[in-house]
Amino acid sequence: MHPATPPTTDAPVGRAHRTPLPRRRLLRGLLAVTVAAPLMFGAAACGDDDGGAADPNAPVKLSIFWWGGDARAKLTEDALALYTKKHPNVTFEKTWQANQGYFDKLATLTAGGNPPDLFQIDDNYLAEYAARNSTLDLTSYQKSGKLDTSKFPESLWQYGVVDGKLAGLAAGENTQGLVYNKTLLTTNNLPEPTTGMTWEEHIAWAEQVTAKTKVPGTQDPSADYKAFWVWLRQQGKDLYQGKELGFTAEDVTKWFDLWKGARDRKATPTADVIHEGNSSDVTKQLVVTGKSATSWVWANQMPDLKKNTKDELGVIAYPGDPSAQWARASMYWSVFKGSKHKDVAVDVINFLNNDVEAVKLLGTDRGLPSNLDLRRVVSDDTTDPAMKQSIAVEAELTQKFGKSPQVPIKGHSKVKSELIKAAENAQYGRATPAEAAAQFVEACKSAIA
């Protein structure tokens, strides 16, 4: 989870300050600067990259921008200091801020002609920035070995490919995780859920939990895009297909109907409680507030969840065929296409992912290390039982992961919020599953237009 508190105006040096601008204006500016980028940065692309190949020791100052809190900043700064120690000619201009407002600031910097050389991005925006020609294609570096992905799960690095170009490299791995209250089940002599259960079996199990414990067996995930996406892939569909939606209103109706049935069987909480659980705040997940026996989260959230409950937690894959899940990039590092120091910026990404000292420093803050060999090193070093559990589950699932889907297209954030709105309309009975599904699909079409 990333802190949602926006930075204050008296933030210490190194933090960025949010510059609120209307999103359309930001994107118009972004489009304008990316159209102009070949002219603005043509000289760098034609031979002056990285200060000139004749002097590899020439001073280089890289600007780097990421989101996160104080803990992430400290870990990242330590890793960058290690890079400078090994490459004394390279220093960093570091900027970071909380998640809230980060992408407004990134768009402002890019539109204003002052983009960072290296920046953190996620799958909500990667395709959008790649489509605007803002991200460097990393494919040639990967093929040459300068960007080493040989120890990555294949579906992990592939999840950074947009229109045939490697637009970003995973800074860490994550996957969907169904977290359950193990203490509650053990106390009541109930079986634990298992990877491979069908959706109907999961709902039947949850109904049993409700009846025995009086705690609803499962959070209703009909508003959760992660669960919907996995379910779609198990039906031979996907969230997106090219530049279009990968599903129909009929698909959404089936999904909403599945969970209406679960609500009718008392397998889930009431609509008001479900709404609480739809928050992305880890402290409000129903499995830790005691209002449900399960929550639908990202597997690497286990340590944060565990901090909010005294009960023992377990984690498995989502119901259905686990090959519908994939090694998802928790976030990416991308290089601005017009950077004057592209080669060095790529080398920094390679270092942060493949240098054993750097990876040990960064730990699991951005997800599980992308390099599988170094992931095992970090797992051996960690003393957090919840993180060890999370790593073990992902290690098991790595053997079952399917091919990664395409990176979400422009409008993905809006699609996610519209799913919550439509699902809650069905949960509260304000619309039938079919009506809510039709509303959702129409809203999605507008979002991605």
- DSSP letters, 360-404, are HHHTTTTSB-SSHHHHHHHHHH---HHHHHHHHHHHHHHTT----
* Average of per-residue pLDDT across 43-72: 72
> In angstroms, rounded to a whole number, what is the distance separating the alpha carbons of residues 231 and 141?
35
pTM of the model: 0.83
Dist. CA 181–CA 311, nearest whole Å = 7
CA–centroid distance for 116 within its chain: 21
pLDDT in tens, 403-436: 999 999 999 999 999 999 999 999 999 999 999 9
Q: What is the C-alpha separation between 221 and 284, in angstroms, rounded? A: 15
Sign of CA dihedral 222, 224, 227, 230: positive
CB 202 within 8 A of CB 268: no
* Rounded Cα gap, residues 71 and 53, in angstroms: 37
Q: Look at the block and give the residue holding tokens 């944060």.
A: 304
Residue 57, judged by CB atoms within 10 A of its CB (0-12, 13-18, 19+), counts as exposed
Phi, psi torsion values for 134, nearest 5 degrees: -95, -20
Cα 130 to Cα 166, 305, 346, 410: the distances in Å are 9, 34, 16, 10
Going from the C-alpha of 449 to that of each of 129, 244, 411, 412, the distances in angstroms are 16, 9, 8, 11
Task: Give the span between the Cα atoms of 221 and 275, in whole angstroms.
Answer: 10
CA angle 219, 225, 226 (to 5 degrees): 80
pLDDT over 90 at 394, yes or no: no
pLDDT digits (tens, 9 = 90+) for 238-264: 999 999 999 999 999 999 999 999 999
Model pLDDT for residues 189-220, shown as the tens digit of each residue: 999 999 999 999 999 999 999 999 999 999 99
For 241, phi and psi rounded to 5 degrees?
Answer: -135, 105
> Which position has the higher pLDDT, 271 or 4?
271
Q: Picking from 22-31, 287-296, 307-316, 391-400, which range would have the lowest pLDDT averaged per residue?
A: 22-31
DSSP-assigned beta bridge partners for residue 336: 135
Given a contact cutoff of 8 angstroms between Cβ atoms, the answer to whether 253 and 232 are in contact is no
pLDDT at 440 over 90: yes
Q: What average pLDDT is seen over the chain?
A: 88
Mean pLDDT of 141-152: 97
- Which pair of structure tokens corresponds to residue 125? 């925006």
pLDDT, position 49: 53
- pLDDT value, residue 261: 98
pLDDT of 166 over the 90 cut: yes
- The pLDDT, as a whole number, for residue 411 is 92
Angle, to 10 degrees, between the axis of helix 372-381 and the axis of helix 385-398? 160
